[in-house]
Chain A
Amino acid sequence: MVNIPSSINDPIPAAEVEDVELYHPHSWWTTYVFSQDAKVIAIQYSLTAISIGLVALVLSWLMRLQLAFPGVFTFIDADRYYQFITMHGMIMVIYLLTALFLGGFGNYLIPLMLGARDMVFPYANMLSYWIYLLAVLVLVAGFFVPGGPTGAGWTLYPPQAVLSGTPGGQDWGIILMLSSLILFIIGFTMGGLNYVVTVLQGRARGMTLMRMPLTIWGIFTATVMALLAFPALFVASVMMLFDRVLGTSFFMPAIVEMGTQLQHGGGSPILFQHLFWFFGHPEVYIVALPAFGIVSDLISVHARKNIFGYRMMVWAIVIIGALSFVVWAHHMYVSGMNPNFGFFFATTTLIIAVPTAIKVYNWVLTLWRGDIHLTIPMLFALGFIVTFVNGGLTGLFLGNVVVDVPLSDTMFVVAHFHMVMGVAPIMVIFGAIYHWYPKITGRMLDETMGRIHFWVTFLGAYLIFFPMHYLGLLGAPRRYYELGESVVNPPSAHDLNIFITLMALTVGAAQVLFLFNAAWSLRRGKDAGGNPWRATTLEWQTPTTPPPHGNFGKELPVVYRWAYDYSVPGAPEDFIPQNEPDPENRSREHAS
């Protein structure tokens, strides 16, 4: 019988694998640039993702300026507007959120929180980053080629994506976009395999799956989903690239364009939509699940209470991950697919509300009678819960076929998905940066600047997106370059558009303050020490801060308890690190 600790006093099993030998860098280049250390790779991923995210932020400003003041900014013509929309969406969803959560936080936190030296294959991990960087550069190249980037919308629906009427359709734009996506997926697969194998096979002694912090559960499940969902996008990208470059007709029906019959015929645009959304819907949860995990840990640490219903939280993550593979066609209610599918997909979609609601209840119950410290990570975590509930409720509207049909392609949809997968995960990203910055740099971020940043971002986001719901209910369509004076855009609604734009500029400007804070605190910030939040998880127990290459010095940690021993009755302090033995069997692990 293998020796599994059935009670906390049982001995921890012996090491099954000998300690790994890491590649130790010999030069500046291999230490900071071509580094195989997951922590350096994480920072490279994060900085690249945030840089390209700033480009997307500026693009959103330009779109808002056009909507609020049509005709004033003459360099924004209709083509440019569509290019901005497309690049904004694609960058935010894939190159910022996916890369930052999995490549950034995944790389930094998985080995540290699991008590591992590094990812299992540091070399492949390094390649993953460099291919990601290449993908970003190919994407950015779109801005500098004749015809500019593609303007097909982030969903790249054919046939318009490869026709001459769409910006970049018959130029370089769409080719670069599809190539960049293919590169991203190849690069991500290298990293993703690393994350999954590290979680499954590279944990410390005593670290069972059911003792992993929820952050790791979220990132792990999201990575598994990404490895199964990205293939659909990969295939769709390859096929559309062939349609565009080789003249195949995978997605192209017979089309007359400007009076000329095109060479295409017999292809199915709906097929692309199915492939795209088989990727696209899990993608929502690829972004959301790491956010769920991280926010659970932030709430637990900053409310000094164990997470309520840990096991339920784990299973909810896994069930949401599985269900998200059978709901994709709720993005296609108006596509012309068989209406009977709508019934099936509406049902599966609404079932997801159950595990999601369990998570929200558990977060709230964790807060209940907790010792809540309104630190900046906690503020962002609370902001996430409220925003996520808001976005989830409008999701109920859009998940039902009959309600979705009139709301489809209106600003209501824009408001919904920005709340649920734009603002909410970004709240968590900020919370996580404020939380782990002390571990990464050894210094605290400035508190005052952080509070201003939070309140402007949080309130501003609501002032941007709440009015947008109203515009959508009025019937204002999305992706329209200019509405003019129309029944869906009366003068009052237009004033609202100006208001939204002003708020968008303000919230964007607040991010500059955040960047300044991050740069300023790097040298001037308060010294953080090893464990400023008095947290239990292993990354806070490293011998030095920031952690050295190999993370844990000579001896790897041994795990004796779960990640949530906060405010344990009778314990000398209000937290007990995971690597502290538990001779008196005080851990609350089995009480939950």
Chain B
Amino acid sequence: MTDVVETETRISQPRPDGLRGFASDWASDQRTFKNVSWGKAMMWIFLLSDTFVFGCFLLAYMSARMSTTVPWPNPSEVFALNIGGTEVPLILIAIMTFVLISSSGTMAMAVNFGYRRDRRKTALLMLLTAFFGATFVGMQAFEWTKLISEGVRPWGNPWGAPQFGSTFFMITGFHGTHVTIGVIFLLIIARKVWRGDFDTEKRGFFTSRKGHYEIVEITGLYWHFVDLVWVFIFAFFYLW
């Protein structure tokens, strides 16, 4: 047997490019995705699974909308706000979308500063992201209140197919729950960054694992995913 020289761990070895590199990674031992940590791999696979959840929700909604025999309420009118006497279609949704997309930008910046170990900026940008997220959920609560006051219920609405209300509350509710969970995670991680837990590699309360700045990126993956899902909800529910 040949003696094995221990190389420094966690440092990537040079790898062939392209298809050859892909094949050699999958044929290798220990790790299939080289230089991808366990946490990041786990988040990616979770997001794949969650994609199927949202995919099923949206497909169910589309099949209901396509097969309904009574008219589907017109989203442009239902989601219009009366501003200064004129009905502006989809204005609130447009602002919500803008806020959420902006939060993806601040999140990406937070990841960048996290890897530079700039504690202050990372934490502030994460707080800003969380603020945008909370604003989004707040506007969604406003939208729900408005529709409920106009008589939209999960079992019916004044304008047409009862599935309008049920799919609306279900899909936006499920997405809003995702955003809310994201906000909570952002606040927890921002606090840890602020305290410098990742500089001292402080151990997690539950898991007793050492913390790393990578968790900022993993939280970011989740956050970008929630944004991306919103883009599809926006396109399929509001713009259709």
Which residues does A use to contact B, with CB under 8 Å? 1-4, 9-18, 23, 120-123, 189, 192-194, 196-197, 200-211, 227-228, 230-232, 234-236, 238-239, 242, 246-250, 263, 265-268, 271, 275, 278, 558-560, 581, 583
A242 partner residues in chain B, CB cutoff 8 A: 154, 166, 170
How far, in whole Å, are A193 and B10 apart by their CA atoms in the complex? 22
Instruction: Please state if B16 and A2 are interface contacts (CB–CB under 8 Å).
Output: yes
A-B contact pairs, 22 of them (CB 8 A): A2-B34, A4-B28, A10-B2, A13-B29, A14-B9, A23-B208, A121-B39, A201-B33, A205-B4, A231-B50, A231-B56, A232-B52, A232-B56, A234-B56, A238-B170, A242-B166, A250-B64, A250-B163, A266-B64, A266-B68, A268-B67, A583-B1
A271 partner residues in chain B, CB cutoff 8 A: 60, 63-64
Instruction: Please state if B49 and A15 are interface contacts (CB–CB under 8 Å).
Output: no
A268 partner residues in chain B, CB cutoff 8 A: 63-64, 67
**Minimal Cβ-Cβ distance residue in B for A272:** B60
Instruction: Please state if B14 and A1 are interface contacts (CB–CB under 8 Å).
Output: yes
Instruction: Please state if B56 and A121 are interface contacts (CB–CB under 8 Å).
Output: no
**Is B24 interfacial (CB 8 A cutoff)?**
yes
How far, in whole Å, are A208 and B2 apart by their CA atoms in the complex? 18
How far, in whole Å, are A247 and B33 apart by their CA atoms in the complex? 47
Instruction: Please state if B9 and A18 are interface contacts (CB–CB under 8 Å).
Output: yes
How far, in whole Å, are A561 and B38 apart by their CA atoms in the complex? 25
Instruction: Please state if B32 and A209 are interface contacts (CB–CB under 8 Å).
Output: yes
**Minimal Cβ-Cβ distance residue in A for B20:** A1
**Is B116 interfacial (CB 8 A cutoff)?**
no
Instruction: Please state if A197 and B9 are interface contacts (CB–CB under 8 Å).
Output: no
Nearest-Cβ distance from residue B210 to partner chain A, whole angstroms: 8
Partner of A559, one of B1, B29, B33, B56: B29
A13 partner residues in chain B, CB cutoff 8 A: 4, 28-30
**Minimal Cβ-Cβ distance residue in A for B1:** A581
**Minimal Cβ-Cβ distance residue in B for A193:** B42
B2 partner residues in chain A, CB cutoff 8 A: 9-11
Partner of B32, one of A122, A194, A200, A227: A200
Nearest-Cβ distance from residue B5 to partner chain A, whole angstroms: 7
B31 partner residues in chain A, CB cutoff 8 A: 16-17, 200-203
Instruction: Please state if B52 and A207 are interface contacts (CB–CB under 8 Å).
Output: no
Number of interface residues of B (CB under 8 A): 59
Nearest-Cβ distance from residue A30 to partner chain B, whole angstroms: 11
How far, in whole Å, are A242 and B64 apart by their CA atoms in the complex? 15
B7 partner residues in chain A, CB cutoff 8 A: 14
**Minimal Cβ-Cβ distance residue in B for A203:** B30
A205 partner residues in chain B, CB cutoff 8 A: 4, 29-30
Instruction: Please state if B15 and A2 are interface contacts (CB–CB under 8 Å).
Output: yes
Q: Which of B24, B29, B32, B68 has the most CB of A within 10 A?
A: B29
Instruction: Please state if A228 and B49 are interface contacts (CB–CB under 8 Å).
Output: yes
How far, in whole Å, are A560 and B56 apart by their CA atoms in the complex? 44
Instruction: Please state if A227 and B13 are interface contacts (CB–CB under 8 Å).
Output: no
Partner of A235, one of B13, B46, B57: B57
**Minimal Cβ-Cβ distance residue in A for B25:** A2
Instruction: Please state if A204 and B29 are interface contacts (CB–CB under 8 Å).
Output: yes
**Is B69 interfacial (CB 8 A cutoff)?**
yes
Nearest-Cβ distance from residue B158 to partner chain A, whole angstroms: 15
**Is B207 interfacial (CB 8 A cutoff)?**
yes
Instruction: Please state if B64 and A15 are interface contacts (CB–CB under 8 Å).
Output: no
**Is B115 interfacial (CB 8 A cutoff)?**
no
Instruction: Please state if B45 and A227 are interface contacts (CB–CB under 8 Å).
Output: yes
How far, in whole Å, are A247 and B30 apart by their CA atoms in the complex? 51
Instruction: Please state if B29 and A121 are interface contacts (CB–CB under 8 Å).
Output: no
**Minimal Cβ-Cβ distance residue in B for A581:** B1
How far, in whole Å, are A260 and B27 apart by their CA atoms in the complex? 65
- Chain B, 150-172, CB within 8 A of any chain A CB: 154-155, 161-163, 165-167, 170
For the complex with contacts A120-B42, A248-B162, A263-B155, 20 further pairs of A-B residues with Cβ separation under 8 Å are A3-B13, A16-B9, A18-B9, A200-B32, A201-B30, A202-B30, A203-B30, A204-B30, A206-B29, A231-B56, A234-B53, A234-B56, A235-B60, A246-B154, A246-B166, A249-B162, A265-B162, A266-B68, A266-B163, A268-B63
How far, in whole Å, are A544 and B33 apart by their CA atoms in the complex? 32
**Minimal Cβ-Cβ distance residue in A for B207:** A123
B78 partner residues in chain A, CB cutoff 8 A: none
B9 partner residues in chain A, CB cutoff 8 A: 14-18
A250 partner residues in chain B, CB cutoff 8 A: 60, 64, 163, 166-167
Partner of A14, one of B1, B4, B16: B4
Q: A121-B42, A248-B166 are in contact. Are A209 and B26 (CB under 8 A)?
A: yes
How far, in whole Å, are A102 and B32 apart by their CA atoms in the complex? 21
**Is B240 interfacial (CB 8 A cutoff)?**
no
How far, in whole Å, are A265 and B45 apart by their CA atoms in the complex? 38
Nearest-Cβ distance from residue B56 to partner chain A, whole angstroms: 4
Instruction: Please state if B53 and A231 are interface contacts (CB–CB under 8 Å).
Output: yes
Instruction: Please state if A4 and B41 are interface contacts (CB–CB under 8 Å).
Output: no
How far, in whole Å, are A355 and B233 apart by their CA atoms in the complex? 39
A122 partner residues in chain B, CB cutoff 8 A: 207
How far, in whole Å, are A228 and B53 apart by their CA atoms in the complex? 9
Nearest-Cβ distance from residue B138 to partner chain A, whole angstroms: 23
Q: A11-B2, A123-B207 are in contact. Are A17 and B30 (CB under 8 A)?
A: yes
Instruction: Please state if A197 and B42 are interface contacts (CB–CB under 8 Å).
Output: yes
Instruction: Please state if B30 and A197 are interface contacts (CB–CB under 8 Å).
Output: no
A208 partner residues in chain B, CB cutoff 8 A: 27-29
A196 partner residues in chain B, CB cutoff 8 A: 45
How far, in whole Å, are A573 and B140 apart by their CA atoms in the complex? 70
Instruction: Please state if B5 and A14 are interface contacts (CB–CB under 8 Å).
Output: yes
Instruction: Please state if A247 and B154 are interface contacts (CB–CB under 8 Å).
Output: yes
Partner of B60, one of A121, A203, A275, A583: A275
Instruction: Please state if A201 and B170 are interface contacts (CB–CB under 8 Å).
Output: no
How far, in whole Å, are A402 and B72 apart by their CA atoms in the complex? 38
How far, in whole Å, are A560 and B4 apart by their CA atoms in the complex? 13
How far, in whole Å, are A248 and B32 apart by their CA atoms in the complex? 45
A11 partner residues in chain B, CB cutoff 8 A: 2-4
The 6 closest A-B pairs by CB, nearest first: A248-B166, A231-B52, A235-B56, A581-B1, A247-B155, A11-B2
Nearest-Cβ distance from residue B118 to partner chain A, whole angstroms: 26
A560 partner residues in chain B, CB cutoff 8 A: 1
